[in-house]
Amino acid sequence: MVSKDARKAIERYGGSKVVEFSDGNNTTIGELNTLDGHAMLPWNLHRYAKVLRLSINELLLAELYLIRQWEEDKVIWLSMTKWGKRLGVHPRTLSRARVKLEVKGYLTPVGMRQSGIAEYQVTGLLYALAICAMCDAHGKFFKERGYCLSEAGAHAYMDDHGLSFDLNFKALSELT
């Protein structure tokens, strides 16, 4: 039985986004990105940063966006000026990192606030982290199911679902 806190974490990080496999099994993005009721995304994000090909600034910004993911499909906006001051980083540095996250498919622009700040969804990043979790031979997915996706399986999954991420599978094989 899943606790109330576990259900909240699963729903927050993609509880309704079902991942189906060729063998008939399925899971949700939320279940891949949670463990025992705890959101695993910050830990997963740091674990898979090399696989996702994230620079330190992109990693920092991706974490800021994920922290603000309070519910599934939530629109998130961050003021680069405000966060630049808080972090001691020039706002242009954060803006460049945001553009790179968009190009990599991890952030999806969905609108603009009246103040001129762009709004984003992190669905791409959630999917990319879930794919990393499914391919990790040392991760929760492997421990529960006894197998993990191969690189070819991950590419087939991305092709079937219209996803395109340039993942570094060599870095994934080096994880312990």
pLDDT digits (tens, 9 = 90+) for 92-119: 999 999 999 999 999 988 887 777 778 8
Mean pLDDT of 146-169: 82
pTM of the model: 0.78
pLDDT at 122 over 60: yes
pLDDT at 69 over 90: no
Residue 30: per-residue pLDDT: 62
Write the burial class of residue 29 (CB in 10 Å: 0-12 exposed, 13-18 middle, 19+ buried): buried
User: Kindly report the CA angle at 158 between 144 and 39, in degrees rounded to 5?
Assistant: 45
Residue 37: per-residue pLDDT: 42
Mean pLDDT of 39-53: 80
Domains of the chain listed by start with CATH number: 4-143+154-162 (1.10.10)
